[in-house]
């Protein structure tokens, strides 16, 4: 009964979101007195067909899962696709990004369905936590390998194997989330032991190894790969999970102090870190600050209600389809549209934390918190970078930005959250049914 209600609610929300995306596409691509373009049919097949296919998969494979996550992800993905189509068509020499993104969307939904099929019980992942940790570290450091690693736009976060280019860090975050959740749940009692140092209560030094390892790995990413966003994301993931597992605020304090010390060292020792911070404080008149300045102009032009779909100039912003797509949304949809995107992410974070709260087993709870942290904090640091609340890091905006690695990883993340939600709901239903049978028997 609960499953049917959730799936029907999910379907209704998908329909509403799809109507909005289709309307946005019509406003963007249909000029006055022009025939309907040939791309309208394939667009409708992708925007309508993919969410419906994902919904059918959830209805069959995870019928009692949360009904909010998939519609929100579909709405954000569809809106991002509309803007990628609009940006690609506005260029004098289109790069074919719209066609490539449609392929990545298809593969993303395929990864979503495959994850639901393969991972029938999230608890099976706990048995492979150390393997996941090893795979995550290998993926994270893979761009440093001389033959396959590539430096693009100043960051060495890409790997090229034949004609395929991808960011292994996007998949490393899922593997590391599984490892951190499994390891911290296993060692939670030891890690929760604190010692008194005068008025302070701090973790036992012999148990600080995991924190130091995560700190060191984040510094390696920051320094060697010039990837501030990923280093901040992974270290935040670890700190949040160790805090939730041990319920010790002291770990947060020690972790923040370690990261601040490492960041200060990197700032003083490496020029590219200084350059990022310098652009953050004062982007005006600097060649490297051009992207940030153009994004600021775009969002200022958008005002409260925006200039209107297809009426802005997003192509003036370098790499707008990935790093700066939030600025394009702010220009054409204004503060209201940008706020709507922010609210959608907040609703996804709320749904993820609700799933974690309802999870009966510790590993599932930690994994749900970790996956939600990855999704929410990645969205935060790129939106904060665009608006100059933080230095620009170059990570993608989940489900919205152009990019295959990000889309595949985030759809797999979404599937894992839905699997945790479904398993928790099924166990709760079984417990209630058993209780009812016991009451009837007595």
- For 325, counting Cβ atoms within 10 Å of its Cβ (0-12 exposed, 13-18 middle, 19+ buried), the class is buried
CA-based nearest residue to 419, from 368, 378, 373, 345 = 368
Confidence of residue 437 (pLDDT cuts 50, 70, 90): low
pLDDT of residue 393: 74
pLDDT of residue 11: 92
pLDDT of residue 208: 64
Phi, psi of 161 (to 5 degrees): -125, 100
Confidence of residue 185 (pLDDT cuts 50, 70, 90): confident
Q: Are 311 and 300 in contact (CB under 8 A)?
A: no
- Give yes or no for residue 271 having a pLDDT over 60: yes
What residues have CB less than 8 Å from 272, skipping those under 6 apart?
154, 226
Confidence of residue 368 (pLDDT cuts 50, 70, 90): very high
Q: Which of 38-42, 95-99, 122-126, 144-148 has the highest mean pLDDT?
A: 122-126
Confidence of residue 441 (pLDDT cuts 50, 70, 90): low
Chain-wide mean pLDDT for the chain?
Answer: 83
Task: Read off the pLDDT of residues 36-61 as tens digits, 9 standing for 90 and up.
Answer: 555 667 777 888 899 999 999 999 99
CA distance 150 to 142: 10
pLDDT of residue 38: 58
CA distance 384 to 51: 29
Task: Read off the pLDDT of residues 188-246 as tens digits, 9 standing for 90 and up.
Answer: 877 777 666 666 666 666 666 776 677 677 667 766 666 677 778 888 888 888 888 88
Annotate 152-178 with three-state secondary structure. ECCEEEEEEECCEEECHHHHHHHHHHH
Confidence of residue 395 (pLDDT cuts 50, 70, 90): confident
Task: State mean pLDDT over 111-129.
Answer: 91
CA distance 349 to 408: 19
pLDDT of residue 222: 65
Q: 158 - beta bridge partners?
A: 150
CA distance 196 to 194: 7
Task: Read off the pLDDT of residues 297-330 as tens digits, 9 standing for 90 and up.
Answer: 999 999 998 898 888 888 888 888 888 899 999 9
Please give the full DSSP string across 233-270, using - where no structure is assigned.
HHHHHHHHHHHHHH--HHHHHHHHHHHHHHHHHHHHH-
State what percent of residues in the chain have pLDDT above 90: 31
CA-based nearest residue to 210, from 241, 231, 233 = 241
pLDDT of residue 348: 95
CB burial readout 227-242, b (16+ within 10 A) else e: bbbbbbbbbbbbbbbb
Task: Read off the pLDDT of residues 252-265 as tens digits, 9 standing for 90 and up.
Answer: 887 788 778 877 87
First CA to last CA across the chain, in angstroms?
25
Q: Which is higher by pLDDT, 431 or 80?
A: 80
- Give yes or no for residue 432 having a pLDDT over 80: no
């Amino acid at each position: 009964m609960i499953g049917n209600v959730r799936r029907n609610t999910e379907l209704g929300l998908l329909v509403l979101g799809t109507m909005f995306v289709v309307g946005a596409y019509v406003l963007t691509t249909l000029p006055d007195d022009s025939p309907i373009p040939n791309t309208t049919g394939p667009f409708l097949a992708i925007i309508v067909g993919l969410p419906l296919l994902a919904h059918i998969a959830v209805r069959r494979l995870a019928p009692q899962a949360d009904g909010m996550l998939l519609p929100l992800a579909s709405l954000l993905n569809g809106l991002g696709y509309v803007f990628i189509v609009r940006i690609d068509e506005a260029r004098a020499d289109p790069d074919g990004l719209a066609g490539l993104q449609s392929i990545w969307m298809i593969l993303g939904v395929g990864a979503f369905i495959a994850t639901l099929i393969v991972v029938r019980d999230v608890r099976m992942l706990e048995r492979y936590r150390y393997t996941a940790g090893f795979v995550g570290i290998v993926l994270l450091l893979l761009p440093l390998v001389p033959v396959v690693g590539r430096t693009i736009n100043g960051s060495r976060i890409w790997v090229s194997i034949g004609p395929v280019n991808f960011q292994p860090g996007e998949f490393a975050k899922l593997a590391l989330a599984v490892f951190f959740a499994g390891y911290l749940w296993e060692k939670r009692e030891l890690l929760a032991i604190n010692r008194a140092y005068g008025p302070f209560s701090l973790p036992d030094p012999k148990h600080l190894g995991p924190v130091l390892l995560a700190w060191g790995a984040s510094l390696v990413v920051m320094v060697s790969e010039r990837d501030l966003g990923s280093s901040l994301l992974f270290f935040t993931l670890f700190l949040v999970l160790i805090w939730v597992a041990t319920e010790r605020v002291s770990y947060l304090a020690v972790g923040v102090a370690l990261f601040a010390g490492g960041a200060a060292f990197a700032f003083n020792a490496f020029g590219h870190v200084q350059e990022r911070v310098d652009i953050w404080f004062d982007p005006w008149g600097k060649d490297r600050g051009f992207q940030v300045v153009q994004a600021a102009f775009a969002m200022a032009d958008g005002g409260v209600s925006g200039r209107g779909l297809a009426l802005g100039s997003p192509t003036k912003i370098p790499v707008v389809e990935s790093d700066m797509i939030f600025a394009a949304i702010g220009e054409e949809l204004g503060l209201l549209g940008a706020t709507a995107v922010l609210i959608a992410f907040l609703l996804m974070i709320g749904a993820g934390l609700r799933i974690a709260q309802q999870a009966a087993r510790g590993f599932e709870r930690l994994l749900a918190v970790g996956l939600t942290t990855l999704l929410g904090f990645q969205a935060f640091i790129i939106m904060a970078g665009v608006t100059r609340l933080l230095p620009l890091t170059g990570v993608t905006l989940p489900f919205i930005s152009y990019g295959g690695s990000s889309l595949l990883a985030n759809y797999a993340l979404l599937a894992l959250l839905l699997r945790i939600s479904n398993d928790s709901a099924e166990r709760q239903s079984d417990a209630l049914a058993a209780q009812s049978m016991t009451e009837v028997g007595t």
